[in-house]
Structure formats: structure tokens, C-alpha cells
Structure 1
Amino acid sequence: MIEKMKFLSITGPKADIDRVVNQYLSKYEIHLENALSELKTVEELRPFMEINPYKELLNKANEFVSQLSQPVSEETGSMDVDTAVKTIQELSGYAANFQEKRTELSKKHEELLSSLQWIEPFLNFDFNIHEVFGFKFVKYRFGKIAHEYYEKFEKYVYDNLDTVFFKCASDEQYVWGVYFVPATQAVKVDAVYSSLHFERMRIPDEYEGTPEEAVSRLKKDLASIDEQLKNCQAEVGKKLESRRSDLLKARNTLDSLSTNFDVRKLAACTKAKNDKQVFYILCGWMTERDAERFQKDIEDDVNLYCILEDDENNILNQPPTKLKNPKLFKPFEMYIRMYGLPAYNEIDPTIFVAITYSLIFGAMFGDAGQGLCLLIGGFLLYKFKKIDLAAIISCAGFFSTIFGFLYGSFFGFEDVLPALWLKPMNNMMTVPFIGKLNTVFIVAVGFGMFLILVAMIMHIINGIKAHDPESAWFDTNGLAGLVFYGAVVAVIALIMTGKKMPATIVLIVMFLLPLLVIAFKEPLAKLVEHKADVMPKEKGMFVVQTIFELFEVLLSYFSNTISFVRVGAFAVSHAAMMEVVLMLAGAEAGSPNWIVVILGNLFVCGMEGLIVGIQVLRLEYYEMFSRFYKGTGREFIPFRKIEKE
């Protein structure tokens, strides 16, 4: 169900907005609209321009809360504004004392890490680097060279060049090493290495000992800095833990103040004239019940004015949609939101989906044992984790259990329970003009016809609510379509039961007349709405287009109806799959392998349960929703969510 909404305009002195938000609006759920957009016809309005003074403090408070050992999400109370601000400022000051030290340590950490990355490729160079730096008659170059050039260097150049190359390390791309060259030959040899794309690396003159010794010292220094950083963090953490209660209360207070202050973004202000007082204007939506309570709450407040708009013509935007369904059906709102929320003047299909989804799932997955597992497992998961999908599984499991008794199936065993209705694999019936067919197929198609008729009725209701005569009366799913498809269902029922057919004139009226109405729905709608140009100018093209559209309509009726055969097909396939499981377990011999039985049930329950769940959702969306539901609504989003017990 969709809650009935009321549009409110709230006005008062500009300086009084904080009191109004904190004292009144924070107690109700109100979906605020941009007042400047809603009041376009009102002259000389300007935005409410002020910077939120609590935003920065709230960000700092949230940062501190995230550093607590066990952050909490539930309400822990609040405190007055001054105390909250003072608390966060004190904690910020304490943290700032360590921030300078942490910044210095972090900078040094980056420098040491950079040095480590430079020196690590040369670990195999087992010479004192500092002594190498002191060579006078021999030049040295640290660097890397790509494999393809290194191979050419070894094959064509190395033996003919006055140089020694010491290979230190290599990976998939490069060879790292050091080459030495006489100082007198350095320019020529450097040019040769450069032609081979040798990338020189400048090693800082700060290492003593071998590269291995230098790396060891660097790692020790890095570990020491890491420990100092941890100690700084630990000191701040101890302080935050000691003020845990105050911090959480301050955060809650600042969060409330910041949210309330942000209401200004959607408010408009009147311009001051002749030193007169400036007023703010807030516009938004409340549920009818909350709007009545709000009016009673403010009736004695002389500084606050509230107007409820009853004339829909004065409202620019359609009301937001707030769903309100019984607790049992509420989890199924998830499927509605996936498709799109209903518009304010649409039917909320949540209850319809909850009943049909669970019923069809049960018919397709009829097993008393596996259904009980889904029922209990889904219920426990929803109770402790509050997962909507788990509640849907539990409801579907309930109907699976019922159909399991109707089919006489218990964990795949067909001889444990007596079938209260029929066995899906064995029960057949004779259909006129066709012959013998599985009974569940016939029942599934019949049930699908019934659901399509219900969807058409809901489409007509939506068309009437939207004041759309074409959709309500002349559309494929409107009254014309309902009469035609209803006539088809009635004729099929008469044939199946061997009853007499209606007179030819009745059949013509029931079949031909609705199709003609559907074909001429646009001209008829224009005629009803008293519009000009009832018939299109290109009448020949209109006739051709109409013929093809009628063919498509008839094809869609047929395909949508036949699509429900899958309900019976899955009922039969479930029994067949479990028969295979029991065969593999050796149940026919009288002593089944229970491990195979258990694993087979788990596999079938998981795999087929998932597939059936998807297939039922497909039936809901494509065969039913497509006939009556648009899902173009916008969600009711209050600036502050009120938790209701």
C-alpha cells in the first residue's frame, strides 16, 4: 500500500529556523523539496546561504569514532551543543600534538623505503659501496638494462670493450648490475652502454658496507619508525577510548545538528524590504497522519505558519512514494524496488507479488522436506541477520511444504507421504483436439490465465486513477483486452468441460468487437478526450500498422499464456531430478546410501531453488508487471529517518 501524502509549506522568521527544525521537524519524517523550484511563481525569493559550522567538527568526530577498538552503531545518547564542540576540540588538540611527530616519522619512512628500493636489486654486489665510491682511476655505474639488449651486449660488444659488467639481479624485463671502466675510457664506454639503453641509477653516497649490510640497517630503521608510528597511534587511541562515551555522544549531537542545518540548502528566503524581517520558506511532503499531528503540534506557535496544499493543480511534482505494508509482506518490497517504485497514483503490487511469488514457487518446487528446510533456514536467517531475501525464501518454503504434501513428496521419496492431490510425473488428463497431457501443465496454464486477467484488472484501475481513458478502456490490457482475453478463457473452459458454445453473434461480439476497439484505441481516446484530428492523415499506413499491431497483440496473449507451462515443467523436473538422486543412492534396493541422499538433496535444493526463484521472478516481471505496472515513482526520502518501535 502507498501512504497518502500531504504537501506542506512552512514559513517563519529566518533566525528561528534552527528552533523549528530541532523542536518540530526532527520529530517527523518529511521529504523536503527545493523551495525555490516549488515556488517558481513567487517573486523575489533567494536561496538560504549559510555555511554549515558543524560539518568539519562532525567529520573529525567520525574520524575519531572509526579509530575506536569497537565502534558502535546504536544510539548512545547525546549532549548539549557547547559540550559536544568542546569535546571534539579537546580531542583534536590532543591528536594534533602527535600529528607533527607522525608527519616527520612518515616522511623519514618514505625516504628510507625509497633508499631500500634503490639498493635491493644490488644485494649480490658483495663489495663495500663506500669504498667503491672512492675509486679515482676506475669509474663505476649502477643501473639496469633490458634483457634483449643485455643479450646483444654479451654476444657482440662485451669481449671488445674495456669494461667489466657485474650482474647483480634480474627479473622478467631487466638485468640489474654494475659496470666498471677505466677513467680514460669512460666517455666512449658510457656512450656504448647508452646506445644499449642502459638506465643509470644514482646511488646516494650514504651507505657503508656491502649492499646486504646496508639493506639490513635500512630494514631495522624502518621497523623502528613503524614502531614509533604505532606508539603514536596507540597513545591517541588510549585517549579516545578513555573518552569513548563523551566522543560518541558528541558525534551523535553533531550529526543531528549538521543534518538539521543542511535543511537550509532546500529553504528559500524572502528579500528584506524597508528593514522588515526576513522569512524562510520550507516545502515538503508528509504522510497525511504526520501532517495532522504536525499541525496540532504547532497550533500554539505564533512564529510558525504551515499551509497544507489540497489543490493538486498547484503542486509541480508528483508526490513521493512511501510504501506501507504488513510485516509479513514487507520483505517483498525488495522485488518492487528492483523493478521500480510505484508512482503515487499506481497500485502497490507488493501483496500481489508476495502471494503469487510464494504460491508459484511452491508449485514449481513442491517437496515437504526441502520446503521445511527453506522455511526454517530462511526464518532463522531473517530473524538474526534481517535479510529480506531470507524472509522471501522462508515464505516460499512454506508453500513448497504445502505443495510437497499435495504432491506426496518428502526429500524426493514419493512413497513416504500419500499425495493429497496428484503425482506430477504420473497424473495425465485428456484435452480436446490435443490428446493426453500432464495435469500439472493444464492447471499451470489455467492459473496463468487467471493471473493475466487479474493483471488486466489492475491495469484498468491504474488507468482510471491516472485519468487515462486510452489505457483504461481501449488498451491491450484495458477493458477491451480484458473482454477479449476473458472470452478466450471462457471458450477454452467450455471446450474443456464439454459445455455448449455461445451463439455465433455472441462470439463475434466477444472476439471481434474488442479487437476493433484495440485497433482503433488512439482515435477512440482522442474522441473521448474531445481532441481534434481523431483519425491520422495517412490512413493507409495506419491500417497496415494496425494489422501488424493486432498480430503482435494476439501473439503476446498466446506467448504470455504458454509461458506459464514452465510452472508445471519445473514441478515435473523436480520429481525427476530427485528420482535420479534416489537411483544413484540405490534406494530401489531398499537400503539407500544416506550420504548420497543428503548430498543429492542439498544439491537439488540449492541449484533448483535458485533457478526456480529466478524463473518465478521472470514470470512476475514479464508476464504480469508488463501488463499493469510502470514503476516510475520516486522514493520518499526524509531528511531525518525516525525509527518507529
Structure 2
Amino acid sequence: MAVVEMTGISLIGPEEEVVALAAELLTLGNFEPVPLEFALERRPASLSSGGARIVTFQKNPYDELLDKLDYVWDAAGSELPEDLGCTRGAPSYSGEECVHRVAEVAHRIEDWKRRQEVLEEKREKLLAAGDFLDALAAADRSVEESLNTKFLSITFGRLSSENYKKLEEMSAVTPILVYPAASDKGYVLAIIFCAREYMEEAEKIFRSVYLKEYELAEIFEGAGPELAGRLKERRLDSERELRVLREAPRNYLERSRAEMEKLYCSVHSLQRVYALCQKRGELSGIFVLSGIIPAPTLEKVAGSVETLGPNTLLLAEEGRELRKRGRELPTLLKNNFLAKTFQEIVALYSLPSYGETDPSPLVALSFCLFFGFMFGDVGHGFLIAAGAWYLARRKILKKAFASVISIAGVSAMIFGLLYGSVFGSEEILPSLWTSPMKGVDDLIRTSLFVGVAFMSMGILINILALKRERKWGKMLFDGDGLAGLLFYWSAAGAAA
């Protein structure tokens, strides 16, 4: 239960071998790439008299593919499941296959979207045409009479709500009449009446407000007594097609979910592999990839190099040597389940630096002990633990946070048994230790003893850290060193 020792490595070899090894490092996990200049620090960029120079790579081409796949899930009205298992494992498809498959799926979604927009526009147009036809019927006028007037021109079109307001304002000072037929999603279908002699000027106004005109003769083709029925039938057909197109992305995703998830994981893995290689360098056709790994995994990495990179050179450097050169190493904590649960609480303050003591086990112990000591009750503890389990199952709480609350509830239940307390009542269960209401002196003495013990433990941990850093003066005479510990114990003993 401590901060894991780290080791620096560099892989130098052909491109195909270095990329394959990067994928294997991704599978092993906990590889932290570093910029190439750290691997070649204090060396010039030109490494030979021939002028071979380092070439680095920055843009990740798989970011765009991931965005497109996210768009596919959004179009289907679905969310990517969190437990796809993409964080580890080699990709199922090559980069070329991923590009081709993602482009094919994205094109299909875009085609459905374009057809849906066309059908929505057609449906709105037919709805407005129906309203227009009803208005003509109420005025006892036929379609032929309205379309073939001698002095009046009728324009039917679609424009944005903002531009419709501008058109209304213009109608106050120009010989046009504007009526809204329908409005939806920020657009208005309008019917505009204008004198034929003014039509040329009116068309300039229409262009200025970006009016998209629809041919009324085309909409009302074959006018007659059955026109209203035909318009309604065409509108219903459009709505049926719209429903099919709206459901198409979701249905496609349901039918191809396994393949789509495999594709997403492949792109995700390739994106991470490229991210690992993003700070790599090319030196006359030879690729260089550097990073930090946990020291215990070095043997596995060496085995992978023998298998996947027979022409690749592996260089390793111990963590303490890197620190001597001023390198800051990443922190990896390795703990059992109980302490690991509280690592996120430790991270809220700060992770220990490389070489320092991991406080997670002490945080876990003190949290459980203090929470149970202060809120010991069997009933309340059970409700806390059950509530955390329920909220985690409904995915309202994150698993790690729910585990902390559950452990707190269990601790409260254990101390509740020691206190004999159930929902505040001390008459239901016999106390196994003492009663909070009757044994106040015992509780005060215990709290003082536990406080002194934890303070002493903190000072002892600091003394050990100073010893590792060979800061002998601070270790012996600092207030948080040996002198401070002896003074603290003397004061506590005198007070007792």
C-alpha cells in the first residue's frame, strides 16, 4: 500500500514496431508518454554531421473519427455506455478500416438527416397549403381563380422568423400584404399578396429577406374537388416517411450495436495509441518513443519488445536517476479495496509526490473510525449504506463515492452495535461497549487517546519521510520531527 516505483523507458526502432509496442503499452496500462526533448535533453536537435533532424507529430487524426462516432450515437438518441471496456485491448480494425467504416456510417446518418430536412420542409409546405386552401374555401374562391388573377400576384414561401418580422415592417410602406400560414423551429411559411405591376420590386425585397419561394401551381397541381384530400394524403405520406427516417439511426444502431461498439473501441484504442506516440520523434526513419511506466511492469514490457519489436532497442532508467536530473515523475497509488476507495478523497486535496508516503490507508482508517465514533447507530447506518447502494445502482452517484458512503454506513452500524443504539433508542439492543448517554467520560477519554495516537502517527510518518530524504537536521530538531514528537508526548503525558 504505497506509491508505486516508476521507471523511464525509451523505444527506438522502425515505425511499425514502435506503433505495435505502443498498442501493447496501452494494453498493459499506466504508460505516461513524455515529450521527446526529455529523452534527448542536453543534446542538439541535429544529431549528426549529415544534419538528421528530429521530426515530431502533433495532430491526432482519430479525434475527428471519435467525434463522428459520438455524432452517430447522438443522432440515434442514445449515449455511449460507460462500460465498453475500451481502455485496454488491441484494436479490432486497422486505421484504414476505421476511416472507411466511420465515413460510411457518418455518410449514411448525414443522408438520413438531409432527407429528413427535405421531408420536414415538404410537410410544412403541405400543411400551409392546406391552411391556404381552407382560407380560399371560406372566401368561396377556387384555386384557379386565385392563381390566375389579372392584377394580383400571390407568393408562397419560407423564411426565418427574424426576416419575417422585417418583411412585415416593409409591408407597412410597400404595396404588399403578408400573412403567416404556419411557423415551426424558427421559420415561417408566409403568403404574400402583391400587385403584378410592383412584382419586380417585390422580388428584390424577397431576396433581401432570403425568402425561399414555392410554386403554388406545383403544390395545387390538378386542382379540383379532391384537391384537399390529395393534399392531406401527401402530407400523411410525408409524415410516415419522416417517422421512418427519424427512427432510422436508432434502428440502425440497435441492429449493429455490437459492430458499432467494436468500431468505437477500435478508434478509441487507435486514438490512445496515437496519443502515446504523439510526442514520438522520427530520426532518419527511426522512431523514438519515451515515457514512464511502473517499475514492476518493466519485465513485461521487455518481453513485449522481444516478441513485437525484434529490431527495437529498449532503454530503461530508474526513477531515482530521473529525479536526480530534476524530472517530476507521475504518481501511481497501489492499495487494497478499502484504501483504494478513499484515493479520490486524497486526490481532492493533493496526490502524494513520487517518493512520498501514500496517506490513503490512514485516511480510510480515520474516516471509518471517526464517522462511526460520531454517528454510531445501527438504523441510521443501515439507511446510509442502503441509500448509497440504491443511488449507485441508479447511476446517480459514482461508484467510488457510493463506496465511501456505504463504508461509512457500515462503520456507523458497527459502532451502533457497540453503543446499543437503533434509531436513537438505546433500549432495543444491549450495548457491547458503552452508552453515549451514560458513558460520556469513557467516550471523552477514548477520543483524546485516539487523537494523540493519530497525531503521533502523522509526525512519525513525517520523520520517516525526512529520513528517506536524508534531511537529518529537520528529522531530529524540527517541530514535526523527533524533538516535536517527544515534546508532544511529554505535554500529553503531563496533561493526563
1:418-442 deviation digits (Å, cap 9, x = unpaired): 333333234455xxxxxxxxx6456
Q: CA deviation at 1:324?
A: 0.5
Q: CA deviation at 1:74?
A: 4.9
- Which of 302, 306, 309 does residue 317 from structure 2 map onto? 309
Give the count of matched residue pairs.
442
Q: Secondary structure at the match of 1:328?
A: helix
Which residue of structure 2 lines up, in the alignment, with residue 223 of structure 1? 239
**Which amino acid is the alignment partner of residue 375 of structure 2?**
F
How far apart, CA to CA, are the structure 2 residues paired with 1:178 and 1:279? Answer: 69
Q: Secondary structure at the match of 1:280?
A: strand
Aligned partners of 1:78 and 1:252 also within 8 Å: no
1:93–1:290 CA distance, 2 compared to 1 (3 A): closer
- Percent identity of paired positions between Structure 1 and Structure 2: 24
Q: CA deviation at 1:470?
A: 8.5
1:291–1:380 CA distance, 2 compared to 1 (3 A): farther
- Which of 433, 451, 456 does residue 454 from structure 2 map onto? 451
1:78–1:2 CA distance, 2 compared to 1 (3 A): closer
Deviation larger for 49-58 or 4-13: 49-58
1:364–1:3 CA distance, 2 compared to 1 (3 A): same
Which residue of structure 1 lines up, in the alignment, with residue 411 of structure 2? 399
Which residue of structure 2 lines up, in the alignment, with residue 552 of structure 1? none
Q: CA deviation at 1:387?
A: 1.7
Q: CA deviation at 1:475?
A: 6.0
**Which amino acid is the alignment partner of residue 278 of structure 2?**
K
**Which amino acid is the alignment partner of residue 33 of structure 2?**
L
The question of 1:73 aligning with 2:74 is answered: no
The question of 1:260 aligning with 2:263 is answered: no
RMSD: 5.5
Which residue of structure 2 lines up, in the alignment, with residue 18 of structure 1? 19
Deviation larger for 399-408 or 381-390: 381-390
Structure 1 runs not aligned, ≥5 long? 146-162, 171-175, 187-198, 273-277, 430-438, 494-645
1:81-103 deviation digits (Å, cap 9, x = unpaired): 57x8559747965885x678636
Aligned partners of 1:35 and 1:266 also within 8 Å: yes
How far apart, CA to CA, are the structure 2 residues paired with 1:123 and 1:464? Answer: 93
| Equivalent residues in 2 for 1:168-179, closer than 5 Å | none
1:338-375 deviation digits (Å, cap 9, x = unpaired): 22221113221111011110111111111133334545
**Which amino acid is the alignment partner of residue 40 of structure 2?**
L
Which residue of structure 2 lines up, in the alignment, with residue 500 of structure 1? none
**Which amino acid is the alignment partner of residue 457 of structure 2?**
V
Q: CA deviation at 1:267?
A: 1.2
The question of 1:285 aligning with 2:292 is answered: yes
How far apart, CA to CA, are the structure 1 residues paired with 2:54 and 2:153? Answer: 75
Aligned partners of 2:128 and 2:182 also within 8 Å: no
**Which amino acid is the alignment partner of residue 73 of structure 1?**
L
Q: CA deviation at 1:332?
A: 1.2
How far apart, CA to CA, are the structure 2 residues paired with 1:180 and 1:374? Answer: 70
Aligned partners of 1:28 and 1:290 also within 8 Å: no
Aligned partners of 1:124 and 1:168 also within 8 Å: no
Q: Secondary structure at the match of 2:288?
A: strand
How far apart, CA to CA, are the structure 1 residues paired with 2:25 and 2:190? Answer: 75
User: Larger RCO: Structure 1 or Structure 2 (Cα < 8 Å, ≥ 6 residues apart)?
Assistant: 2
Aligned partners of 1:50 and 1:264 also within 8 Å: no
Which residue of structure 1 lines up, in the alignment, with residue 378 of structure 2? 368
Q: CA deviation at 1:443?
A: 4.3
1:601-643 deviation digits (Å, cap 9, x = unpaired): xxxxxxxxxxxxxxxxxxxxxxxxxxxxxxxxxxxxxxxxxxx
How far apart, CA to CA, are the structure 2 residues paired with 1:337 and 1:354? Answer: 13
Q: CA deviation at 1:266?
A: 1.7
How far apart, CA to CA, are the structure 1 residues paired with 2:12 and 2:190? Answer: 78
- Which of 309, 313, 331 does residue 321 from structure 1 map onto? 331
**Which amino acid is the alignment partner of residue 380 of structure 2?**
Q
How far apart, CA to CA, are the structure 2 residues paired with 1:40 and 1:379? Answer: 51
**Which amino acid is the alignment partner of residue 229 of structure 1?**
L
How far apart, CA to CA, are the structure 1 residues paired with 2:233 and 2:482? Answer: 87
Structure 2 runs not aligned, ≥5 long? 47-52, 163-175, 184-188, 199-208
Aligned partners of 1:78 and 1:250 also within 8 Å: no
The question of 1:269 aligning with 2:269 is answered: no
Q: CA deviation at 1:397?
A: 2.7
How far apart, CA to CA, are the structure 2 residues paired with 1:165 and 1:267? Answer: 64
Q: Larger Rg: 1 or 2?
A: 1
Aligned partners of 1:122 and 1:169 also within 8 Å: no
Q: CA deviation at 1:31?
A: 1.6
How far apart, CA to CA, are the structure 1 residues paired with 2:331 and 2:488? Answer: 32
